[in-house]
Amino acid sequence: MATLAHKPFRVLPGFRLTLGYTLLYLSLLVLIPLSAVFIKTASGGWEHFWNSISSPRVLASFGLSFGASLAAAAINSVFGLLLAWSLVRYRFPGRKLVDSLVDLPFALPTAVAGIALTAIYAPKGWIGSLAASHDIRIAFTPWGVLIALIFIGLPFVVRTVQPVLEDLEVELEEAAASLGAARWQIFRHVIFPTLLPALLTGFALAFARAVGEYGSVIFIAGNIPLVSEIAPLMIVTKLEQFDYAGATSIAAVMLVVSFVLLLIINSLQAWSARRIGRSA
C-alpha cells in the first residue's frame, strides 16, 4: 500500500509505450523517407552521384538556392525585428490589419504568391516597369528569387521574435536609461541579448523554408540555366527525365548542407541562451 501511495501519477501512458509511439511516428514521417533518399542515391553508384551533383547547372542551382536563402533569412532577421518591434511597442491606425497581413504568406498558396510577385515585378508590372525604365530587371533574375524568398520567410522571424518582445520588461530599459545609458547602449546590452536566441530561431526557420521553396519561386525565377534555376527545380527536372537516382542525389546534398547549417545555427542559439542564463 505504501508503494502505491508513493507511485507518481502520470497523465500519459508509461515511458516505454509513449516512447514507442513517438519513435514509430517519427520513423514513419521523417526517418524512413529520409533514409529512402540516401538508399536511392546509393543505388546509382558513386560515379553517377558525382556526375549528378557536379554538373555546372546543378552547382549553379546550389549556389542560388543556398545563397539566396541565406541572404533572404538575413534580410528578414533585420526587417522582421523592426516589424515585430513596431507591432509590439507602438499603437497606430491599422495595426491589427498589419499584424494579420504578416501571416498572409502562411495561408496564401505558394503558386498564387509566385504569380502575384511576378505580375508586380515583371517588366510590365507596377514595380517592374519603374525598375525597367532605369535598365533594372527584377523578375526572371536572381533578384526575383530573393524577393520571393523574403516574402515567404518574413512571418517566421516576426512570429518568433514578437512573443519575446511582449514579455520583455520595459522596467529594465527604464533602469538602464536612468543610469545614463544611451538608446543604442540599451538596445545593445539589454534588449538584443534577450532577443538573440529568438532571432536566431527565426533566422533558422526562414532559411529552412527558403531552401526548399518551389511554388512561389518557380514563376518569378524565369528558370534560365546557370542564372535563375533553383535546386528544387533541378530535382523536378531529373524526375521528369526518370533519373530518380540523380534527383535523390541533389536532394541528399541539399539535406546534408541544410542540416549542417541548421546545426550550426542551433548551436549558436544554445550558446547564446547559456550566456544569457549565466549573466542573469
Give the per-residue pLDDT at 207.
92
H, E, C per residue of 33-85:
HHHHHHHHHHHCHHHHHHHHHHCHHHHHHHHHHHHHHHHHHHHHHHHHHHHHH
- The answer on pLDDT for 6 being more than 70 is no
Residue 150 lies in a domain: yes
120-150: pLDDT as tens digits: 999 888 999 999 888 889 999 999 999 999 9
pLDDT above 90 covers a percentage of the chain that reads: 39
Which of the two residues, 169 and 119, has the higher pLDDT score? 119
Give the per-residue pLDDT at 7.
57
Helix (H, G, I), strand (E, B) or coil at 7: coil
E strands, 125-266, in order: none
Helix axis angle for 45-54 and 244-279, nearest 10°, is: 70
- The answer on pLDDT for 1 being more than 50 is no
Question: Domain of 232: which CATH number?
Answer: 1.10.3720.10
- The answer on pLDDT for 245 being more than 50 is yes
Residue 130 lies in a domain: yes
Chain length of the chain: 280
Q: Which of 136-145, 245-254, 258-267 has the lowest mean pLDDT?
A: 258-267
Give the per-residue pLDDT at 32.
87
Number of domains forming the structure of the chain: 1
Q: Which domain holds residue 118?
A: 46-279
Residue 37 lies in a domain: no
Is residue 138 within 8 A of residue 128, CB to CB? The reply is: yes
Residue 39 lies in a domain: no
Residue 11 lies in a domain: no
What is the average pLDDT value for the chain, to the nearest integer? 86
User: pTM, whole model, 2 decimals?
Assistant: 0.85
Residue 124 lies in a domain: yes
56-71: pLDDT as tens digits: 999 999 999 999 999 9
Residue 1 lies in a domain: no
Helix (H, G, I), strand (E, B) or coil at 90: coil
For residues 192-201, give the mean pLDDT: 87
Residue 19 lies in a domain: no
CA distance 113 to 145: 12
Render 12-26 in DSSP notation, one character per residue. S--HHHHHHHHHHHH
Give the per-residue pLDDT at 63.
94
75-89: pLDDT as tens digits: 999 999 999 999 998
Give the per-residue pLDDT at 18.
78
Q: Which triple of cell numbers denotes residue 239?
A: 524526375
